[in-house]
Structure 1
Amino acid sequence: MDYYGCSRTKRRRIKAKAAEHLQMLEDLHAKNQVSSNLECVTELNSQIPSEQWDTQTQACWSESGQESDSGMFFSDSSEELNLDGSAERTNPFNDLKRKLAYWAPNHNISQSALSELLHILVQSELDLPRDPRTLLSTLTTCDVNDIGDGSYYHFRVSNAIISLLSHESDPSTDTLTLCVNIDGLPLFRSSKMELWPILAKIEELPRSNVIIIGLYAGPTKPNSVEDYLYDFIKDLKVVTNEGLHYNGKHYNIALPDAFICDAPARAFLKCTKGHSGYNSCERCTEHGIRMDNKVVFPDLKAPVRTDEQFTDMIDEEHHHGVSPLQELGIGMVSSFVLDCMHLVCLGNVRKLVSLWIKGPLRCRISATTMSIISNHLKSIRKHLPSNFSRKPRFLMEYGQWKATEFRQFLLYMGPAVLQGRLPTRLYNNFMLLSVAMRILLSPALCSEYCDYADKLLKCYVTNFVKIYGSEHVVYNTHNLIHLADDERKFGALDSVSCFPFENYLGTLKRLVRRPQNPLQ
């Protein structure tokens, strides 16, 4: 908010200047018959909707212009008219070109639609290009590095941080710490092409936007993690050693304190066994067993895995290579967060609902009960506050639920709609998970009641084995017993979740307009 909010006095001056300028144009047109082209520009500018620009777009123009109440930037060298009606600025259409150039990508306007709009405006004798590529100044070439079957482009860590600082208030500290996220993003249903971006956030700016450091595009995930991370690691070493200067201030860049990824991405970055492997647990040395065609981890008391043991590869069955991230000297166990979005919301809560609907008979609920619960969820829709991004859906549609819907069900809806309808032992077990996660996600509760939440989670897993059977204690369920360790290091788990990064992935996907050269 600090970036967008100019002082009220400055806003009044800009608006008064604009009103005075428009009045002068009208007077001169009545007296001296100002040219029709200039009149068209004035009328068109007055009809442009007041849309808020993207923050990165604003950063590009913050040095050369000022922001008005509508979110648009006006140049300091605004057009001044002489007494004879002649304009000192050479081209009165520069502002219109600039506004159109940034309006189109910010609202995901297609090239064909923008081309048709330009042809209409050109017929009105406006000095605008006919081709949208000319208006958008689209680059004809883009230098990318070939990595295996795909290509990679590195945006540089320093550039990404400066772009974020340009529209944020100055941090209270001179040291900035990155939280890094790496994940895959499929682009099309009819193609295997996918993106693998390297994203980051700054811990000292918890409300800041996500920044992009590198971007890979290919038919599969990168074949070599060493090649994929080479530019990132090399660049990060330089930035952490030298720091960076911005706006007359020197910032020290600390090594990433947290890598926030889902289980497959963590295994890829750490060069360890995937979540279906016998030695796949990242926090303890428990050896899984195969039951019902699944690898399960029923033991809760296995020795913990440390950063030193990981570096020395004490458990050889856990590794299948040496991770290039070890060059940075980070904790290869403690720095990789067990993301609650994938582990709890999309993992355990979805698993619980599926067991209630189509699990074993000993834990399955009847169709009548399921219909009552769904109708209760439907009745809540009209009373739900606007703070919730999604309205609750029927329980039978859980396969299409998003992570926010599972989180909403776990913390808010579930305790109310399940009470008296779910069998007592199933409901009490669900409440163990709900209360524990409420504590770990709350900044006001997590520090004081972390140990209590840890006991609740271990009790939940123990009872889960008795209720649903050992064959369902898979990787996600087992790792709940290690979840409190992340709170002890990083604080409330909501600050180290994948939710903001997943939202940014949707923004990246909308930028890809065609399957050819998606990275470029």
Structure 2
Amino acid sequence: MKEKRVQLRQVKKMRHQHHQILTDTMKVTIHTSLIAAVTVNSIFYEDEGWLQSESDDEEYVEIDSDYCEALLNPVIEIDGHRELEQFLGNLPLNARTLLKTPRSVLLDNIADGKYWHFGLKQGIHQQLANLPHNSIPESSSILVNVDGLPLTKSSRSTFWPILGLIYGEEKPFPIGVYHGTGKPDCVNSFLSKFIDEAVQLEKDGLDHRGVNVKVRLSGFICDAPARSFVAGTCGHTGKFACPKCKAIGINFVKPGKKKGRIVFSDMEAALRTHQTFTDRETPEHHKMRSVLEDLQIDMIKDIPLDYMHLVCMGVMGKLLIHWVNRQTTQHLITPEMLEEISDRLELLRNWVPSEFSRLPRSLSELCRWKATELRQFLFTGPIVLKGILPSPLYNHFLCFHVAIKFLCSQPLCFTHNHYCKRLLNILPGNQKSCTVGIS
């Protein structure tokens, strides 16, 4: 009996020692996590989000608010939350309370919507933070995208984000975002904060970890409606809408149709330049002065045309719809021909390279094809259509295929530029004369 009492005392003593060790360990863990999180949080907000490591190459680690919460939440959300209060006093239930994360932000009112500016400078800092100190570039070219993003189908709620991308990188970063029931009423109010910051960066550069990086906005990548919106020009369906030349559109109505469309038949019209744009030589082309003109960019060359909508979903899509609906009157395209083309497309599914994100589908689903599928057909079309499509239509397609293939190649687009122009000038004309030799 006496031996059992001694054993019981030893067990209680061991339990007490074990509990004391756990308590001390918990204190150290909590103390370390709190100091690390609060320190990181302080550095994140006071030093623009950069934490210097102790390594020899002085690399900087990008820190965000999620990292602070990841340090704290596992400590705060321990089952023995109440027991921790004896060490820390009144402990909040979540890391966001401890770090004093703001519950609301001050948004800018723009007409019928709200705007939040993330910052161009902050975005470039985040992109350069992943580079070692000796790899920070002396200059950086920024590509900018502006486009509308509908949030739901049941309402008009829309996002209009401004995205930036350092030339040569793959991951874009947000500069600002607008939310409303449509696109912003005034482009200058929408872009004012971004342009003010961009003008300052183009003038003074960006100081990043002791290196002054020269910043240049090299281009705006937008589709046709967004392009005319940010440039302050008339819409893409107007008679003076062409952003590259001074051609005047005419209203073309198909026989038997009530409504027509604007077409530009003048292939030799004078080209626009940045000087003629800013001088307003064609006043009908302009709706207002855009704040983009305050930047050091060429309003013609640095706002390129949209390849996806013009070439893939535009010309290629219209050609396929023309063939599938058998709207040609000169050459008969039978349902059997279309079925054979669909069979050939499905045979290619096992040999599609990774550059195309979707596998080929039958022409019966043409109305659901995405832009990447239309782009893929532009490359595989010469094989799929050979021997099936009537010769005049096939040669007509080849003119388009060869021209786009050359223009998408960096060396060939310069050496064969005039040849591509001759091929593309043929497309709107007679399909019987689609044979042009390289000169």
For Structure 1 versus Structure 2, the TM-score category normalised by the shorter chain is 0.7 to 0.9
- Tell me whether 1:177 sits opposite 2:141 in the alignment: yes
Please say if residues 199 and 212 of structure 1, whose CA atoms lie closer than 8 Å, have aligned partners that are also in contact: yes
Please say if residues 231 and 292 of structure 2, whose CA atoms lie closer than 8 Å, have aligned partners that are also in contact: yes
When residues 466 and 249 of structure 1 are mapped into structure 2, their CA distance, relative to the original with a 3 A threshold, is same
Q: Cα deviations across residues 311-364 of structure 1 (Å, max 9, x unaligned)? A: 111112212222222222532222210121221112111111111112523267
Further displaced range: 456-465 or 309-318: 456-465
Q: Displacement, 1:367?
A: 1.9
When residues 137 and 439 of structure 1 are mapped into structure 2, their CA distance, relative to the original with a 3 A threshold, is farther
Counterpart among 265, 283, 286 of residue 298 in structure 1: 265
Distance 1:196 1:189 in 2: 16
Please say if residues 122 and 129 of structure 1, whose CA atoms lie closer than 8 Å, have aligned partners that are also in contact: no
Distance 2:416 2:123 in 1: 37
- Tell me whether 1:191 sits opposite 2:163 in the alignment: no
Q: Cα deviations across residues 34-67 of structure 1 (Å, max 9, x unaligned)? A: 759989xx9xxxxxxxxxxxxxx9xx99837799
- Tell me whether 1:273 sits opposite 2:240 in the alignment: no
When residues 445 and 302 of structure 1 are mapped into structure 2, their CA distance, relative to the original with a 3 A threshold, is closer
- Tell me whether 1:417 sits opposite 2:384 in the alignment: yes
Distance 1:361 1:459 in 2: 17
Q: Cα deviations across residues 58-80 of structure 1 (Å, max 9, x unaligned)? A: xx99837799xxxxx9x9xxxxx
- Tell me whether 1:379 sits opposite 2:379 in the alignment: no
Q: Cα deviations across residues 259-315 of structure 1 (Å, max 9, x unaligned)? A: 111110111112211111111111111111111211111221122222211111111
Q: Aligned residue for 1:53? A: none
The one-letter code of the counterpart of 2:275 is E
Q: Aligned residue for 2:165? A: 201
Distance 2:348 2:80 in 1: 52
Q: Displacement, 1:406?
A: 1.4
Count residues in correspondence.
374
Q: Aligned residue for 2:51? A: 63
Q: Aligned residue for 1:158? A: 121
Q: How does 1:20-35 map to 2 (within 5 A)?
A: 35=22
The one-letter code of the counterpart of 1:353 is L
Distance 1:379 1:135 in 2: 60
Distance 1:63 1:382 in 2: 48
- Tell me whether 1:236 sits opposite 2:224 in the alignment: no
Q: Aligned residue for 1:322? A: 289
Q: Aligned residue for 2:110? A: 147
Distance 1:399 1:36 in 2: 66
Distance 2:337 2:393 in 1: 14
Please say if residues 154 and 215 of structure 1, whose CA atoms lie closer than 8 Å, have aligned partners that are also in contact: yes
Distance 1:95 1:338 in 2: 41
Q: Secondary structure at the match of 2:51?
A: coil
Please say if residues 358 and 364 of structure 1, whose CA atoms lie closer than 8 Å, have aligned partners that are also in contact: no
The one-letter code of the counterpart of 2:419 is Y
Q: How does 1:462-481 map to 2 (within 5 A)?
A: 462-463=429-430
Q: Displacement, 1:399?
A: 2.1
Q: Aligned residue for 1:220? A: 182
Q: Aligned residue for 1:288? A: 249
Please say if residues 262 and 342 of structure 1, whose CA atoms lie closer than 8 Å, have aligned partners that are also in contact: yes
The one-letter code of the counterpart of 1:278 is K
Q: Aligned residue for 1:504? A: none
When residues 302 and 443 of structure 1 are mapped into structure 2, their CA distance, relative to the original with a 3 A threshold, is closer
Q: Aligned residue for 1:430? A: 397
Please say if residues 269 and 323 of structure 1, whose CA atoms lie closer than 8 Å, have aligned partners that are also in contact: yes
Counterpart among 44, 63, 70 of residue 98 in structure 1: 70
Q: Aligned residue for 1:495? A: none
Q: Secondary structure at the match of 1:63?
A: strand
Q: Secondary structure at the match of 2:238?
A: coil
RMSD of equivalent CA atoms: 3.6
Distance 1:361 1:168 in 2: 57
Further displaced range: 170-179 or 280-289: 170-179
**Structure 1: segments with no counterpart, 5+ residues:** 1-28, 43-56, 68-72, 76-93, 102-117, 468-520
Q: Secondary structure at the match of 2:265?
A: coil
**TM-score, with length taken from structure 1:** 0.64
When residues 329 and 66 of structure 1 are mapped into structure 2, their CA distance, relative to the original with a 3 A threshold, is closer
Counterpart among 237, 240, 246 of residue 208 in structure 2: 246
Distance 1:403 1:422 in 2: 22
When residues 376 and 125 of structure 1 are mapped into structure 2, their CA distance, relative to the original with a 3 A threshold, is farther
The one-letter code of the counterpart of 2:51 is E
Further displaced range: 263-272 or 127-136: 127-136
**TM-score, with length taken from structure 2:** 0.75
When residues 168 and 375 of structure 1 are mapped into structure 2, their CA distance, relative to the original with a 3 A threshold, is farther
Q: Displacement, 1:248?
A: 2.0
Q: Secondary structure at the match of 1:236?
A: helix
Seq. identity, %: 35
Distance 2:149 2:332 in 1: 34
When residues 328 and 123 of structure 1 are mapped into structure 2, their CA distance, relative to the original with a 3 A threshold, is same
Q: Displacement, 1:429?
A: 1.6
Q: Aligned residue for 1:113? A: none
Q: Say which structure, 1 or 2, has more relative contact order (CA 8 Å, 6+ apart).
A: 1
Q: Secondary structure at the match of 2:376?
A: helix
Distance 1:356 1:195 in 2: 37
**Structure 2: segments with no counterpart, 5+ residues:** 1-14, 30-43, 56-60, 85-90, 254-259, 435-439
Q: Aligned residue for 2:310? A: 343
Q: Aligned residue for 2:357? A: 389
Q: Aligned residue for 1:440? A: 407
Please say if residues 136 and 211 of structure 2, whose CA atoms lie closer than 8 Å, have aligned partners that are also in contact: no
